[in-house]
Structure 1
Amino acid sequence: MSESLIPRGTLIVSCQARPDNPLHGPQFMGAMALAAAQGGASALRVNGAEDVRAAMPAGLPIIGIAKIVSEGFPVYITPSLAAAAELVEAGADIVALDATPRPRDGEPLAELIRRVSEDLATPVFADVSTLEEGLAAEQMGAAFISSTLAGYTDPAAPKAILPDLALIAALAARVSVPVIAEGRFNTPELARAALDAGAHAVVVGTMITNPREITRSFASALKRAP
């Protein structure tokens, strides 16, 4: 059932914009969702109940997240059952959440995954940063395991530039649920490499739906030109 929501070998487009982005808001994210659908995406990753509602006319399965920043808690991707319930009520078909063991302002991870899966009858998309976290999330009942947080959970570590294909391969070899590649897949070639490494599908965000960051990357490259 869960696997049928996201076909193997397909593209998931993350339609998100931070509050400081000119494209922030349901009107723009709804348009991004339609553009992604017309371009051949199989599903969408959308932040917040309002944007989930706006993305529904695109007619694709929606992976809903709720980014909630709480002081003293590093986990901010759907940290609680209440946040997950708002997404489901808005129309999300899948709920994505931070599945790392870091402190969260909400239910313990195992309880959260269980209650989203059972009480809300909605598949859980577990965002992880390591193989061990992926294995644990599967045991807790997650329907999808994603490399979303690879390279982002250790503030002291150097900023990663390339996707963690080694993690994708390790997860694909060890878990029985679909493994989703996400995080720095900024070219079609890297997305293809994720599938070759064993990913079920690939999430791409910034390089498709964030014109400001795409512009910055081009402008920065031109400044470095001789």
Structure 2
Amino acid sequence: MITTLPRGLIVSCQARADNPLHGPSFMGAMALAARDGGAVGVRANGPADVRAVKAAGLPVIGIQKVFSETHPVYITPDFAAAASIVEAGAGIVALDCTPRARNGEAPQILIRRIREELGAEVFADISTFEEGLAAADWGATYVATTLSGYTEETEPKPDHPDLALVERLAARLSVPVVAEGRYNSPDWVRQGFAAGAHAVVVGTMITNPREITRAFVRSGVPG
């Protein structure tokens, strides 16, 4: 399969509304810095940020977070959310492909519609081996371990990445497997590639100075 994402490091350029770096101007700058540092792609949330990170000239994995008080799925839960980020310039759409309840179409329907109607690649965020197999069978372009540790079935969340899941999926699937979730050091990234990942996504430890600062304070600043 010919895919857009080269083998390498993907940087997630996201900041929540309460973060001082929230907003497209900051995320666009983060994407430029990631490109200059050697990243092969970026992940961004929402049309405004997707448009901003496009300036870096890298493949963009777009998501649209739609939060609901009644449904746990919020990563691109419906076709309208997917269409909005493709219109903004994302060539790859990431969506939650777990079987959890959502206010939108089932993932197998979304994958088909995104590929056929929007002409975009699909980046399937999953939490288990079985979900990864299903997403690939439904036509996902990439299968990513993003949600391992973040669903009821995979809790409690460990401190380390789920390398075993990457290894199992890479040994079984013909589509590229992407390692994501708690890859918080260069050594973990190296181990992700050794486990068979086509690419590894890093977010917080590259693009969230507030959380990085907190980690340093917790570990090394005397009280």
Q: State the identity as a percent.
A: 63
Q: Distance in 1 between matches of 2:177 and 2:154?
A: 27
TM-score scaled to structure 1, two decimals?
0.96
Alignment partner of 1:209 is 2:203: no
> Which residue matches 1:58?
56
Alignment partner of 1:7 is 2:9: no
Q: CA RMSD in A?
A: 1.4
Alignment of 1:75-224 (within 5 A): 75-154=73-152, 157-223=155-221
Give 4+ residue runs of structure 1 displaced > 6 Å after superposition: none
Alignment of 1:17-56 (within 5 A): 17-56=15-54
**Shift in Å at residue 108 of structure 1?**
1.3
Which residue type is aligned with residue 159 of structure 2? I
Q: 1:10-58: CA deviations, max 9, x gaps? A: 0000000000000000010011011101111000000000000011111
Residue ranges of structure 1 left out of the alignment (5+ in a row): none
Which residue type is aligned with residue 12 of structure 1? I
TM-score scaled to structure 2, two decimals?
0.97
Corresponding residue pairs, total: 223
Q: Secondary structure at the match of 1:97?
A: strand
Q: Secondary structure at the match of 2:219?
A: helix
Answer whether contact 1:2 1:123 (CA < 8 A) is retained: no
Answer whether contact 1:2 1:143 (CA < 8 A) is retained: no
Describe the shift of the 1:38–1:196 C-alpha distance in structure 2 as closer, same or farther (beyond 3 A).
Answer: same
**Shift in Å at residue 205 of structure 1?**
0.3
